[in-house]
Every structure is written in C-alpha cells, then in structure tokens.
Amino acid sequence: MAVAVLWFRKCLRVHDNEALTWACNSEEVDSILPIFIIDDEQQDSGKGNIGFNRMRFLSESLKNLDENLRGTLGTSLTILSGKISDALHSIREGLPGEDVCLVYEYCSEPGSRETDMLLENWSSSESSNFRTKVFPAMHTLLDIEEVVKSPGYRNPKSIKDMEGIFRDHFSRNELGFYEVGGPLPVPSKKKPLATLADRGNVIEISEFDRMIRDRFPDKGDQHHYFPGGETEALDRLKKKVSDRPQYVNKFRKPKTISTNSEDDPREPSTTGLSPYLSTGCLSVRMLWKECEKAYLSDEHTEPPESLHGQMMFREMFYLLSRSVKNWDSDIDNENCKEIGWDDFDLQKMVAWETGNTGYPYIDAMMRQLEETGWIHHLGRHAVSCFLTRGQLWQNWTYGRDVFERKLVDSDWALNNGNWLWLAGVAPFSMPYYRIYNPCPDSKSSLNAETTNADFIRYWVPELKSFPSKYIFEPHLAPISIQKSLNCIIGVDYPLPIVDRKESRKENLIRFKISIGNQ
C-alpha cells in the first residue's frame, strides 16, 4: 500500500497514538494523510446545537494537533466538513490510483459502529486498493468489544464487578498493579504528506472558527478556563498529577470540594483532566501510569475512591454503553426503571439551565457550566438530583441533553451513565431516597465551602454581599437585610422555584409508587 489515511476520531494527540505509530513505522506505508472530520453531529447534537465551549474546545484541540503534527512529524492535519460517509468517500476519490489504508481508533457509540460497518463493506466489496485498520483500545484501557463478547461477561454494576473484569483481562505485576500497558512515545520516524486531489470537503480551521463566531456572536474573545489541546493536557497532567504524588496517593473522589479550590472559584479540587480524556487529548493509559508512579512512592487510596478507581468507573460506563440496548433512552432500557416523570416543563427547565431556580448552590453550578463548560462531579450530582427525583421531577434525558450540549468533557457513554445513576433509575444507582439538599451546610456530603461561600459570591454576584448565614437560602433573610444589600429576593434574585422540602416529600412518594408498580 502507499497511503495511510489517519483518521483522528476521539484521540486528538500524537503521544500514545497506536494508529499514528503504526503508520509512521510500517514499511507498507509510503505516505500519510492525517484527517479529522467535522461531522454534522458535532455541529448539531440532534437535541440542539452543540454549545460554544464544546465547539471552542474542539477548535483549539484541532489547532494544537496540527501544530504537534507539524512540529514532531513534519506533516499537517486535513480537516473535512460534512457527513462522515461523504467525507470519507471524498478521501477515496481524492487519492486515485493509490492503495489506501484508512487507519483509525475504535469508538463504541452506535453511530460510530454503523460507520465501521459501512467501511467494512467498502473494504470487502470494492476494489482491493482500499482497506481499513482499526485499533481497538486507544480511548479506553479495555478492548470494549473483546470484553463484552467474552464468555461469562455480565453487565457490571459496581467497582467490585469491574475488579473482576480487570482480573480477567489484565495480568498483574509483582507489585499487584494491573498490566494495562505503557503509553507509546511520539513516533520518531517521519513519512511524507500525501496529496489529496479532490479537496471539495476540505476546510481551514479558520473557517471552523468563523462558524463558531457566527453561531455565538456574543461570546467574543473572552478568556476560557479550559484551553483545548494535547499540549495543555500534558501540562495539566504534570501540574496536577505527576508533580503531586501525595495528592494522588491521598485522593478520595467523594472528599474533594464541589465548590472548587479555596483561592480560585474556577480551579477544580479534582485533576480537571476529564475534558482532555473525553477528546483524547490525553491518553488514559498515560494517566493510569502516572498515578501508578505515585502509588509506588507511598501508601495510597484504593478503588473506588482513588484515581485508578475513577478510571475503572469510566471503563464500566463504556462497557455498559456497548452492551445495554437503548443506553441513552428511558424506554426499553434494561438499566433504567421506567418512572412517571412529569411532562417537559419549559419554565422549570429554563430556570434550571440558566441558573435561576432561587437555590444559589444549584444556580452557581449551572452558571459555572454555562461559562466554563465544566462542573465538579458533586455539583453534577446536586443539579441532576434537583432536576429529577429531588425537586423538579423532570425526565433525566432533558438534563442529559443540556449536559451534552455544554460540557467540555461531554462523552456519550459517561454522560448517559451518570444521569442514569443520579436519577436513581439504574441498577448501580444510589438509593432513590438519598436526595441531596440543594442548600448544603458544612456537614453536607456535597462538600461545599460554606464559611465564606466565595463560590456562590463569584457565580451568583447578586448575592455577593449577603451574610453567609443566609446566602444558601437568601429568601429567608429578613427584608431589612435584603433592602440594606440592595438585593430583594423575588426581584433582584428569584424566589425558590419550588419548596424544596415539600417537593422532596412528594417525589419520594411518587418514586416509590413507580418502582412498586414494576
């Protein structure tokens, strides 16, 4: 063969990239053509337009990928726009007379697997100058297809189940660590860039940026907290993990602070690496190994609370998203109890999404999501519970769609899994009666900083002068205090959209009845 077309799907990096390494080292390959396809679904999720932060993060990641390809391999990234099948067909037409191998990583989403079947048909039914080479575990630790098709596989429901799956598919070294394999270095061997004759679907990254500006004219050039790209991912990995072994060893996910670091309301108390894992700017194997290095230095926490445990939960949701039919639906989904949710309530949904529910903790989280594209996992617990079984009794899929649009770490498998979990409808869910108080105190499992409440003051500036005593329930402040602070609840900041105690009581009854009828 002559040309390896490197299709970057969800692994936007040059480090630990098996497809790239194979193409650069293979004696079968004379030239390479790295491509990325901006598919219609990345501009429109089907449930509403992809949000600004997601599109901006993707744009920055593509620019950085192009820079890294040029800097390390002397090649560049070709970006195509349109339907994936049309874009790939144009690649075939644009390389006439060449033997072509389309090289890419496996993705478990239903749409991606349908594309894989189409490509298999092309490879088998068309002329022999086109074939594919798929790498099965570039975005995950496990080979998802291998695991779900293995004898005795059962859908995991807990970290204990995942430990069993890891034991079945990974050996252990003498120190007791799973041998997941180390990350590959950036290839050192260079191949020339193939020339694409038909460039009808090709766009410049500047055109994508223009599309983003046209869609979000009000966003401007504001500073964004999570810059996209592999370079930023590796820098954050170093600062948050590699250079902080004691942080890694003591890490307990449920004990991290939902209201972010004390000196910066925008900096997560967790690693903040999830956006880079979801886009593949960072290899999950590299993160696994960096944590393992820290574990070698001292005593450390164990799954599920450890960082290794969190990565195992990630693998669990990938497995379930592949093995459970209708994973993203509340109908005919064996991992979802059918609950009689209320019909879509526009007023409730808008108040929740825009951060105007009258509950400052919930509103601060949703405003943070809008501006940065990210929320701490306990914040996600709180807002998900509030929208569904806690207070507003709305279907979890409505909230899932909002997260899908806005989260820079949005991931089909994980997003659906987390909403199933937090709505209380999945086999792995917490008990349905465990409802988060949207007005946390210092003892809350939401781990909110309540003494100074700087997180609330930052994201809900209407309340920045409120005494901490009232800032989580400002409607309880005497009217004299509200007037003195020039913030009248119900005028300058919303009254609570529902009575949290009454709605909780009613929803517990409704949930119990729903599951009792099944």
Q: What is the pLDDT of residues 190-211, one digit of tens each?
A: 999 998 887 778 999 999 999 9
Q: What pTM does this model have?
A: 0.95
Same domain membership, residue 354 and residue 300: no
For residue 424, what are the contacts with CB-CB under 8 A and spacing of at least 6? 337, 388, 389, 430, 431, 432, 511
SS3 79: strand
Asked if pLDDT for residue 41 goes beyond 50, the answer is yes
Same domain membership, residue 511 and residue 363: yes
- Residue 117 in any domain: the answer is yes
pLDDT of residue 516: 81
In terms of residue numbers, what domain contains 405?
346-516
- Residue 443 in any domain: the answer is yes
- Residue 198 in any domain: the answer is no
Question: Could you tell me which residue, 518 or 343, shows the higher pLDDT?
Answer: 343
* Section 61-79 average pLDDT: 97
Q: How confident is the model at residue 123 (pLDDT cuts 50, 70, 90)?
A: confident
- Residue 224 in any domain: the answer is no
Q: Which of 323, 354, 373 is the last residue of a domain?
A: 323
Angle at 368 between CA 415 and CA 241, to 5 degrees: 70
pLDDT of residue 444: 96
Place of tokens 């993990």: 241
* Section 266-294 average pLDDT: 96
Q: Strand 100-105's sheet: what is its strand order?
A: 130-135, 100-105, 3-7, 31-38, 78-81, 202-203
Question: Could you tell me which residue, 122 or 241, shows the higher pLDDT?
Answer: 241
Distance, in Å, from the CA atom of 466 to the CA atom of 472, rounded to the nearest integer, reads: 9
pLDDT of residue 124: 76
The number of domains in the chain is 3
* Section 154-174 average pLDDT: 96
Asked if pLDDT for residue 45 goes beyond 50, the answer is no
Asked if pLDDT for residue 126 goes beyond 70, the answer is no
Distance, in Å, from the CA atom of 249 to the CA atom of 246, rounded to the nearest integer, reads: 5
- Residue 54 in any domain: the answer is yes
Contact 395, 419 (CB under 8 A): no
Same domain membership, residue 505 and residue 416: yes
Asked if pLDDT for residue 483 goes beyond 70, the answer is yes
Distance, in Å, from the CA atom of 420 to the CA atom of 317, rounded to the nearest integer, reads: 11
Question: Could you tell me which residue, 218 or 336, shows the higher pLDDT?
Answer: 336
Residue 263 sits in a domain of what CATH number? Answer: 1.25.40.80
Same domain membership, residue 498 and residue 358: yes
pLDDT of residue 200: 78
- Residue 93 in any domain: the answer is yes
pLDDT of residue 426: 97
pLDDT of residue 221: 66
Pairing mode of beta strands 31-38, 202-203? unpaired
Count other Cβ atoms within 10 Å, centred on residue 486.
9
* Section 18-37 average pLDDT: 96
Contact 307, 313 (CB under 8 A): no
pLDDT of residue 234: 98
* Section 434-456 average pLDDT: 96
Same domain membership, residue 384 and residue 468: yes
Distance, in Å, from the CA atom of 207 to the CA atom of 142, rounded to the nearest integer, reads: 37
Asked if pLDDT for residue 75 goes beyond 50, the answer is yes
Q: Which helix (H) or strand (E) holds 24?
A: helix 18-25
Q: How confident is the model at residue 121 (pLDDT cuts 50, 70, 90)?
A: confident
Same domain membership, residue 377 and residue 293: no
% pLDDT > 70, the chain: 97
Tell me what the pLDDT averaged over the chain comes to.
94
- Residue 195 in any domain: the answer is no
Distance, in Å, from the CA atom of 504 to the CA atom of 391, rounded to the nearest integer, reads: 6
Q: Prior bond to 187 cis, omega within 30?
A: no
Residue 56 sits in a domain of what CATH number? Answer: 3.40.50.620
Asked if pLDDT for residue 46 goes beyond 50, the answer is no
Contact 440, 448 (CB under 8 A): yes
* Section 233-257 average pLDDT: 97
User: What CA–CA distances, in Å, run from 59 to 17, 80, 105, 220, 443?
Assistant: 20, 13, 20, 15, 41
Distance, in Å, from the CA atom of 31 to the CA atom of 23, rounded to the nearest integer, reads: 8
Q: Which of 215, 243, 277 is the last residue of a domain?
A: 215
Residue environment code for 121-150, b if the CB has 16+ CB neighbours within 10 A, otherwise e? ebbeeeeebbbbbbbebbbbbbebeebbee
Q: How confident is the model at residue 266 (pLDDT cuts 50, 70, 90)?
A: confident
Q: How confident is the model at residue 40 (pLDDT cuts 50, 70, 90)?
A: low
Q: Which helix (H) or strand (E) holds 214?
A: helix 205-215
Same domain membership, residue 356 and residue 318: no
Same domain membership, residue 361 and residue 425: yes
Q: How confident is the model at residue 502 (pLDDT cuts 50, 70, 90)?
A: very high
* Section 138-158 average pLDDT: 97
